[in-house]
Structure 1
Amino acid sequence: MIGFVLPLLFVLFWSCKAATYDGKLRNASDGTMEAYMIPHFKSSHASFIEPSPNGDLVMAWFSGSAEGESDVAIVVSRLPNGTDQWTSPIVVSQRKGYSNQNPVLFFDNQTNILYLFHTQQDAKKVGDTGLNGEDSATIWELQSTNNGMNWTSPKIMFAKAGSFDRNRIVISLKNTWLYPIYYAGGSRKDTSYIKESVSHKPFDTWLEHSFTDSDHLVQPTVVRPVKNSTRLVSFFRDRRAEHIYRAVSLTDGVTWTKPSKTTLPNNNSGIEATTLQSGHIAIVYNPTNKERNPIVISVSMDEGLTWAHTRPLDHETGFNGIELSYPTVFQDSQGRIHISYTYNRETIKHKILPNEAWISQRHD
C-alpha cells in the first residue's frame, strides 16, 4: 500500500503546483507578488523581462521538450499595464533541426523598436549530451513595433559559431548599444566580449571589445552604478563553479580591468545584476557552488566589492532536484523590483519585490 501512496502523493503535489501555472499575479506570504507563467511546452528555461514605454511588461524564454532538442522555441508573453494576468505565450522563433536558447529583450528608445535577440544551435543528435552543440551557436534577431504583440521573422545576426548572449544591453554615454556576449568554446576556453552597435541597426557593423583575461568567465551582466559616468561594472558566471567574478571599465565598456573574485559563490549557472534607483547594485544568483537551489538577491553599496544585504527569494525543499535558476532583474519607475527565473524547468516564476528595503528586512 505504501508503494502506491507515495507515488500518488507525488502526483498530487505536482498537480497542485501545476494548477497555479496560470500566469496570474498573487500576493505571497513574504510581502511580494508572484506568478507562475503558463507553460507552452513541457520544459521552460532562461527567461528575460523588459518593460515597454506604455507600462506593459514583455517576457521571453525558451520552451520545448528539453534543452537542446529540435523543438525548442522562443516564446513571448505580455503583462498588460494595470493588469495582474500574463497572456498565454506565443511562439516567435522555432526552426526544425535547431534548438533555441537565451532570449534577450531590448527596447530601443531611439527607434521605438522592441528587439529580441536569441541564440540558436544545432539540435542534439542521438547519444549526444547536448553540450557540443554550443560550438555551433549563432545569434538571431526579431523586432516588434507594438510592444511584443507581433514579431518579424527571425534573421541571423551574428553568424560566428559559438556566439552566445544572456544578459541586458546597456546604452553607452555616446548613445551606442553595449551588448554583452561570450563565445562558447566546447573544447576551447570560453571568453566574454562587448559588442557595440553605433548605428542602432542590428545588421550594420558591430565593434568588439574584449574582457581582459576572461577565460572560463561567461554571461557578463553589465551595470552603470552612477548616471552619466563612464564607469561600468560587469559580473560573470564562472565555468569552474567557484565564484562570481567582477571587472570594471573606466572607458564606457571599451577596456576592462582583469576580472577578480567576489565574495559571492557561483555554481556555473546564470546571474543578473541591475543598478537600483538608490545607486546600489542588486544581483540575483544561486548562493552555492553546486545546486541551483535556493535563489537569492544581494545588494551592494560599493559597486560589488562587498554585499551588505542578502535575502532568499525562493527555496524549495521536500523533493531533490528542483531547479531555481537563470534570473533576470530590473527595477521599475515605482521602485518595485521585478525578477523572473526558471522554476524546476516546468515554468517561469515572476516575483515582484515591493522596494529595495524589502531585501534588508528581517525575515524568518
Structure 2
Amino acid sequence: MYRWTTVYAMRTVQADPKYDGILRNISDGTMEAYMMPPFASNHASFIEPLPNGDLVMAWFSGISEGMSNVAIVFSQLKNNSNQWSKAQVVSQRKGYSNQNPVFFYDNKTDALYLFHTQQEAKKSQLGTRSEESAEIWVLSALNVTNSSNIRFSPPRVMFKHKGSFDRNRVVVSLRNTWLYPIYYAGGSSKDQSSNLKECVDHNVFSSWLDHPFLDTNYLVQPSVIRPKKGDLRLVAFFRDRRAQYIYKADSSDDGKTWSKPTKTTLPNNNSGIEATVLSSGNFAIVYNPTNKDRNPLSISLSTDQGLTWKYTRNLEYKTDENGVEFSYPTLFQDSTGRIHISYTYNRETVKHRVIPNEQWIMQQ
C-alpha cells in the first residue's frame, strides 16, 4: 500500500497542441510550451537556467531512439521572452545514436557544459539495443551569460568506459568539485549499477574520482540533491529497473560514501525521474506514479525530507487512449519560486511546463 495523498487534477491533454515553442498561460494557473520538434522522435530533455534569466533546453531527436544520426538538439528561451528558439543540432554522428543530454553551468568560468551519451546505432528499428557500447561525450560553450548566440565546441568523448550513461543533474560539492551521477548500462538489468563521478580540477578531460553507490544492482539514473545549503548531507533517488519503487540513499560526507539504498513509498515504472530541493526546504520529485505505463506524469511534494510524500498532482494524464507517453522529466525552481519542468510528450515533442509555486502542488 502506498502511503501518500494523491491530489489529482484530471487534466486531459489538448487534442491538437501547437508545436511552436510559444509559452502560454493555461487555465490551471500554469504555463506550457510545446517545443518545435526537428525530427520525428523526441525524448529525454534537460532544462537549465542561466544567470541572465535565459533558459536552455536540450533533448535527443531523430528517426527513433537508438537509430543512426539521432542527434542532440539545443533550444534557448531568452529572458522576458515567451518564444523558444528553433532547435538546432549540436551533436550528431552517422552510425551512432545520441541520448540523455545533461547541462552543467559553471559560474566560476561562465561556461556551459553539455554532456550526453553516444552508442552504436541499431541496424533497424526492430534491432537490439546497443547500450553496452555507450560512451559519454561533452560539448562546451564559453562566455554564455553575455552571448547573444550560444555556440558549442565540437563534441569530444569524455568517458570511454563502455556502457556509461548519464541522466540527471551535476551537484557542486562543498569542496568545490563537481559531482556527476552516472550509471552503467548494458547486459542484464541486474548487472546495471550507479556511480558518482567527481571532477576535482574542473577539467572534464582529466581523471575523475569514483564514488560508487552501494548495492545498486537494478538501480540507475541517480538524481542527487543537497537538502540544506552548506550541509554535507546529500540524498540520491534511483530509477528501479524492476519497475517496483523509487529508491533512496544518503551520504553524510558530501558524496564520498553512501548508505545502502532503501525503497521509498513512491512507485516506479522503470522510467526516468528527477528530484529537487525547493526554496522552502521541501523536496519535489517528478515521475510516473505507476508500475507500468508512462501515463500519468506527476509531481510529488515531501515536507519531511523524503520520508513521506503527502501531496501529488498530475502534470499530464490521458484516459481515452493506450500507448501515450509522458516521461523523462527534469526540473528546477527559479529565483521567483516558479518550478520549471520539461518532459517527453508522446515522443512527438518535448514540453516545457511552468508551475507558479509549490502551493500549486497542494491544491485540490
TM over 0.5: yes
CA distance in 2, matches of 1:129, 1:243: 29
CA distance in 2, matches of 1:327, 1:101: 14
- Please report how far the alpha carbon of residue 149 of structure 1 lies from its aligned counterpart in structure 2 after TM superposition: 1.9
Conserved? CA contact 2:177–2:200, under 8 Å? yes
| 1:177 matched residue in structure 2 | 178
Q: Helix, strand or coil: the match of 1:308?
A: strand
- Please report how far the alpha carbon of residue 348 of structure 1 lies from its aligned counterpart in structure 2 after TM superposition: 0.3
Structure 1 151/344 Cα, relative in aligned 2: closer, same or farther at 3 Å? same
CA distance in 2, matches of 1:29, 1:107: 33
| 1:243 matched residue in structure 2 | 245
CA distance in 2, matches of 1:323, 1:38: 18
1:137 paired with 2:134, answer yes
Conserved? CA contact 1:49–1:105, under 8 Å? yes
| 1:98 matched residue in structure 2 | 96
| Amino acid across the alignment from 1:120 | Q
Deviates more, 1:117-126 or 1:312-321: 312-321
Deviates more, 1:298-307 or 1:70-79: 298-307
- Please report how far the alpha carbon of residue 302 of structure 1 lies from its aligned counterpart in structure 2 after TM superposition: 1.8
CA distance in 2, matches of 1:222, 1:167: 8
Counterparts of 1:281-300 in structure 2, within 5 Å, are: 281-300=283-302
Q: 2:217 aligns with which of 215, 218, 243?
A: 215
Corresponding pairs, count: 347
- Please report how far the alpha carbon of residue 177 of structure 1 lies from its aligned counterpart in structure 2 after TM superposition: 0.3
Conserved? CA contact 2:182–2:197, under 8 Å? yes
Deviates more, 1:118-127 or 1:169-178: 118-127
CA distance in 2, matches of 1:298, 1:22: 29
Question: Structure 2: which 5+ residue stretches go unaligned?
Answer: 1-12
Structure 1 159/86 Cα, relative in aligned 2: closer, same or farther at 3 Å? same
Q: Helix, strand or coil: the match of 1:212?
A: coil
| Amino acid across the alignment from 2:132 | D
Deviations 1:3-59 (A, max 9, x none): xxxxxxxxxxx99626x0000011111110000000000010000001111110000
Conserved? CA contact 1:233–1:303, under 8 Å? no
Conserved? CA contact 1:123–1:130, under 8 Å? no
CA distance in 1, matches of 2:295, 2:120: 29
Q: Helix, strand or coil: the match of 2:230?
A: coil
| 2:154 matched residue in structure 1 | 153
CA distance in 2, matches of 1:16, 1:91: 28
CA distance in 1, matches of 2:34, 2:100: 19
- Please report how far the alpha carbon of residue 317 of structure 1 lies from its aligned counterpart in structure 2 after TM superposition: 2.8
- Please report how far the alpha carbon of residue 87 of structure 1 lies from its aligned counterpart in structure 2 after TM superposition: 0.3
Conserved? CA contact 2:67–2:125, under 8 Å? no
CA distance in 2, matches of 1:58, 1:125: 32
Deviations 1:227-281 (A, max 9, x none): 1111000000000000000000001001000000000000000000001000111
Conserved? CA contact 2:110–2:143, under 8 Å? no
1:66 paired with 2:68, answer no
- Please report how far the alpha carbon of residue 72 of structure 1 lies from its aligned counterpart in structure 2 after TM superposition: 0.4
CA distance in 2, matches of 1:127, 1:42: 13
Aligned-pair identity in percent equals 64
TM-score by structure 1 length?
0.93
- Please report how far the alpha carbon of residue 100 of structure 1 lies from its aligned counterpart in structure 2 after TM superposition: 0.2
| Amino acid across the alignment from 2:136 | I
CA distance in 2, matches of 1:108, 1:315: 36
**Which structure is higher in helix share?**
1
CA distance in 2, matches of 1:107, 1:15: 34
- Please report how far the alpha carbon of residue 205 of structure 1 lies from its aligned counterpart in structure 2 after TM superposition: 1.0
Structure 1 segments, 4+ long, off by >3 Å, are 126-130
1:276 paired with 2:275, answer no
- Please report how far the alpha carbon of residue 171 of structure 1 lies from its aligned counterpart in structure 2 after TM superposition: 0.4
Deviations 1:112-166 (A, max 9, x none): 10000000000002475443x1000000000012537211000000000000000
Where relative contact order (Cα < 8 A, 6+ residues apart) is larger, the structure is 2
Conserved? CA contact 2:67–2:124, under 8 Å? no
TM-score by structure 2 length?
0.93
Q: 1:327 aligns with which of 326, 329, 344?
A: 329
Conserved? CA contact 2:57–2:75, under 8 Å? yes
Conserved? CA contact 1:71–1:95, under 8 Å? yes
CA distance in 2, matches of 1:163, 1:15: 37
Question: Structure 1: which 5+ residue stretches go unaligned?
Answer: 1-13
Deviations 1:261-307 (A, max 9, x none): 00000000000000100011100000000000000000112221111
Q: Helix, strand or coil: the match of 2:309?
A: coil
| 1:125 matched residue in structure 2 | 123
CA distance in 2, matches of 1:96, 1:23: 28
| Amino acid across the alignment from 2:16 | K
Conserved? CA contact 1:137–1:163, under 8 Å? yes
| 2:22 matched residue in structure 1 | 24
Structure 1 108/127 Cα, relative in aligned 2: closer, same or farther at 3 Å? closer
| 2:359 matched residue in structure 1 | 357
CA distance in 2, matches of 1:269, 1:16: 25
Conserved? CA contact 1:114–1:144, under 8 Å? yes
CA distance in 1, matches of 2:299, 2:50: 24
CA distance in 2, matches of 1:16, 1:281: 32
